[in-house]
Amino acid sequence: MNDTRALEETTLAASDNGPHSIEQTSVWKDFLATIKIGIVNSNLITAFTGFWLALYFNGKGFLDSLDLVFFAMVGTALIIAGSCSLNNYVDRDIDHLMERTKGRPTVTGRFNPITVLLMGIGFTLTGLLMLMITSVTAALIGLVGVVTYVFFYTMWSKRLYTINTVVGSVSGAVPPLIGWAAVDSNLHIVAWVLFLIMFIWQPPHFLALAMRRCEEYRAAGIPMLPVVHGFEITKRQILVWIACLMPLPFYLHALGPIFLVLATALNAGWLGLGILKYKKMEDTKWATMMFVYSLNYLTIMFVAMVIATLI
């Protein structure tokens, strides 16, 4: 919300500086929309947490690793931005059918599709090269994320199978592994727990979104679970995935009892809220509640991991 507000304020300020400034601001907003800056920012949080915990568990100092921080974070940001640009390029034939995506620059024509394609390829390759500077393992994990998101999700499963949400979750779960591998190529069990948290978090998050946007997905011909099988089975799936998160914090017991209590409370709160309101709320309102909780859950969980190492 702060990023959006800042962009709106910039646009208003630019209106006093003539049409050239307005055009520059508009192009910048289109650029941020093309790379999906919200996705980039949220994934950087998880990537940084993986990096930070790798330093912590390997007894290394943050200030002594600033070069690795730079290449790992910028490299991760670039491969995510590149992958999202490629996603926009591929999906430009269906994005105009959905309210959520019809304003994308690849749909409105403000960005030439070839420009977006080249931007996606360029960002991705540059990002992979930067990750290679940290470790070969980090670059390989990044490549797995790119291939999964662009080819296995965007170009294949998204348009054919309800399992597309799970396929896409693989790519969304690799940032903490990238962050860890930039420090330590021998991935610790903690790194894999971070991966699992991110992997399991995504289906309930995106299935809740799919419930809210069900008719848009239907119009676009995207076989999301609520489109094909309805809301009831989707709600049950959401609760099952959340329940699978419950044991994972216990594998992070080294972060201390305060974190363990907080993480367990977050999981129990999400599951309990979903069960409590299951029959009491209208389906789309229930989905909105679960979606909003998921956003706060992710931020609190990963920021808490970092804070736990400082206590």
Record the tokens describing residue 95, joined without a space. Answer: 């994005």
Residue 7, pLDDT > 90, answer no
Q: Which of 271, 262, 264, 209 has its CA nearest to residue 242?
A: 271
Residue 2, pLDDT > 90, answer no
Q: Which of 241, 244, 236, 206 has its CA nearest to residue 224?
A: 206
Residues 6+ apart with CB under 8 A from 44: 73, 76, 77, 80, 175
168 with 206: CB under 8 angstroms? yes
- Residue 282: inside a domain, yes or no? yes
Q: What is the DSSP letter of 251?
A: G
Least confident of 8-17, 28-37, 187-196: 8-17
- Residue 121: inside a domain, yes or no? yes
- To the question of pTM greater than 0.75 for the whole model, the response is yes
Q: How many domains does the chain have?
A: 1
pLDDT class of 152 with cuts at 50, 70, 90: very high
- Residue 27: inside a domain, yes or no? no
Residue 33: burial class (beta carbons within 10 Å; 0-12, 13-18, 19+): buried
Rounded to 10 degrees, what is the CA torsion of 286, 289, 295, 299? -130
Residue 284: burial class (beta carbons within 10 Å; 0-12, 13-18, 19+): middle
- Residue 3: inside a domain, yes or no? no
- Residue 30: inside a domain, yes or no? no
- Residue 31: inside a domain, yes or no? no
What CATH code is carried by the domain that includes residue 180? 1.10.357.140
- Residue 40: inside a domain, yes or no? yes
Residue 25, pLDDT > 80, answer no
Can you list the alpha helix ranges (DSSP code H) found in the chain?
2-14, 19-35, 37-57, 66-90, 105-108, 113-134, 136-147, 164-173, 175-183, 189-212, 214-220, 225-229, 231-245, 257-276, 283-308
Domain that holds residue 52: 36-308
Least confident of 54-63, 101-110, 202-211, 233-242: 101-110
Supply the pLDDT for residue 97: 86
Structure-model confidence comparison of residues 35 and 24, the more confident one: 35
Record the tokens describing residue 113, joined without a space. Answer: 């599709």
- Residue 8: inside a domain, yes or no? no
Q: pLDDT tens, 166-192?
A: 999 999 999 999 999 999 999 999 999
Least confident of 13-17, 193-197, 225-229, 240-244: 13-17
